[in-house]
Amino acid sequence: MKAIGFYEPLPIKESNSLVALTLPNPEPRPRDLLVRVKAVSLNPVDTKVRMRTPKSETANVLGWDAAGVIEAVGKEVTLFKTGDEVYYAGDVTRPGCNSELHLIDERIVGKKPRKLSFKEAAAMPLTTITAWESLFDRLGFESTPQKNIRKSILIIGGAGGVGSIAIQLAKQVAGLKVIATASRESSEKWCRQMGADEIINHHQSFKSEFKENNLQEVDAVLCLNSTEKHVHNMFDVIKPQGKICSIISTADNAPMDMNIFFQKSVSFAWELMFTRPMFQTEDMLEQHRLLNQASELFDQGILKSTMTNSLEGMSVENLKKGHLALEAGDMIGKLVIDGVW
């Protein structure tokens, strides 16, 4: 099968940063699906893994967001059958989906939303899982508005991939008052389109931004950018006994003053959507369930795809364009590449 990968960590503009490969067709393990990939989307994890993986004689294949059609199933598969259309984010401990065919454990796969194209669907799994687990598992919100009356959340980095779907889930599914951060006119406009009630500038003091906009302290904060940079900002606007969840580890293991949250009895949680498949947790099947729930919400029009840009055709050139766009750090929504080679 055709694939695109790398052998050593190189800046994306280097000629061999990503290379075309021909690999054997993979064989499913008992609970695996063999998927013919129709579209993939890019995430910051792609660039991070590319630059942090040691040089190797074996090619590494990136890609953790895909939509496609099942070509074969393992002998213990019960959730899907050949021909089913699926979408999923995958397992960072296994080869990625930048390939014609891809193996994935059925327990972290969902049925593709019927009303979304393969490209629109491929934009959603990783960010949806991350946002869903953050809101409902880590921060403990209910998925029914009636149980979250008068509750609020601040989403730091609202225009990115996770922020775009987190705003939708927080507003449309949980019924929260949503305050998002953005610093450009285009990103502010996008956050409002996703459903944000209020916008503040994350380059300014959150305390002063809240005061200027007559905003009250929030019940929860979802941090999607520069955790260590925003520690004091988060303290300033979180309610006593509030909850914070971050998906961003500190840069170069930078220290954080977590003691400031002590006086407010604030709870702090990390979210990594790869944890369940990485450690084969007992509740791994929850990712299958939440992707199916999200699929129904997409089909009902309650949620919408956050694809904002697409490249036609899977190639080294297009994948490099995607990595360059991610590394620029100002992407709104998601970038998708269709799976035509």
Q: Look up residue 174 and give its amino acid.
A: A
Q: In three state form, how does the secondary structure of the chain look? A: CEEEEECCCCCCCCCCCCEEEECCCCCCCCCEEEEEEEEEECCHHHHHHHHHCCCCCCCEECCCCEEEEEEEECCCCCCCCCCCEEEECCCCCCCCCCECEEEEEHHHEEECCCCCCHHHHHCCHHHHHHHHHHHHHHCCCCCCHHHHCCCEEEEECCCCHHHHHHHHHHHHHCCCEEEEECCCHHHHHHHHHHCCCEEECCCCCHHHHHHHCCCCCEEEEEECCCCHHHHHHHHHHEEEEEEEEECCCCHHHCCCCHHHHHHHCCEEEECCCCHHHHHCCCCCCHHHHHHHHHHHHHHCCCCCCCEEEEECCCCHHHHHHHHHHHHHCCCCCEEEEECCC
Counting every residue written for the chain, the total comes to 341
Q: How confident is the model at residue 201 (pLDDT cuts 50, 70, 90)?
A: very high
Q: How confident is the model at residue 17 (pLDDT cuts 50, 70, 90)?
A: very high
pLDDT digits 0-9 by tens, 124-160: 999 999 999 999 999 999 999 999 999 999 999 999 9
pLDDT, mean of residues 205-223: 97
Distances (CA, A) of 142 to 146, 180, 209, 283, 298: 9, 20, 28, 18, 19
> What pLDDT, on the 0 to 100 scale, is given for residue 340?
85
User: Is residue 202 within 8 Å of 181, Cβ to Cβ?
Assistant: yes
Decide if pLDDT at 218 tops 80: yes
> What pLDDT, on the 0 to 100 scale, is given for residue 250?
87
Q: Look up residue 313 and give its amino acid.
A: G
Decide if pLDDT at 108 tops 90: yes
- Cα separation, 110 vs 88, in Å, equals 6
- Cα separation, 38 vs 339, in Å, equals 4
> What pLDDT, on the 0 to 100 scale, is given for residue 339?
81
For the chain, domains (ranges, CATH) are 2-124+277-338 (3.90.180.10), 128-270 (3.40.50.720)
* Residue 44 structure tokens: 């910051």
> What pLDDT, on the 0 to 100 scale, is given for residue 130?
98
Decide if pLDDT at 254 tops 90: no
Decide if pLDDT at 6 tops 80: yes
- Cα separation, 82 vs 161, in Å, equals 30
pLDDT, mean of residues 65-89: 98
pLDDT digits 0-9 by tens, 19-58: 999 999 999 999 999 999 999 999 999 999 999 999 999 9
Q: How confident is the model at residue 177 (pLDDT cuts 50, 70, 90)?
A: very high
> What pLDDT, on the 0 to 100 scale, is given for residue 252?
75
* Residue 58 structure tokens: 């074996």
Decide if pLDDT at 303 tops 80: yes
Q: How confident is the model at residue 120 (pLDDT cuts 50, 70, 90)?
A: very high
> What pLDDT, on the 0 to 100 scale, is given for residue 81?
98
User: Is residue 47 within 8 Å of 323, Cβ to Cβ?
Assistant: yes
Question: What average pLDDT is seen over the chain?
Answer: 96
- Of 270, 268, 220, 279, residue with least CA distance to 248: 270
> What pLDDT, on the 0 to 100 scale, is given for residue 255?
80
- Cα separation, 260 vs 129, in Å, equals 30
Residue that the structure tokens 């869903």 belong to: 132
pLDDT digits 0-9 by tens, 273-294: 999 999 999 999 999 999 999 9
Residue that the structure tokens 């490209």 belong to: 119
pLDDT digits 0-9 by tens, 314-324: 999 999 999 99
Q: By percentage, how much of the chain surpasses pLDDT 70? A: 100
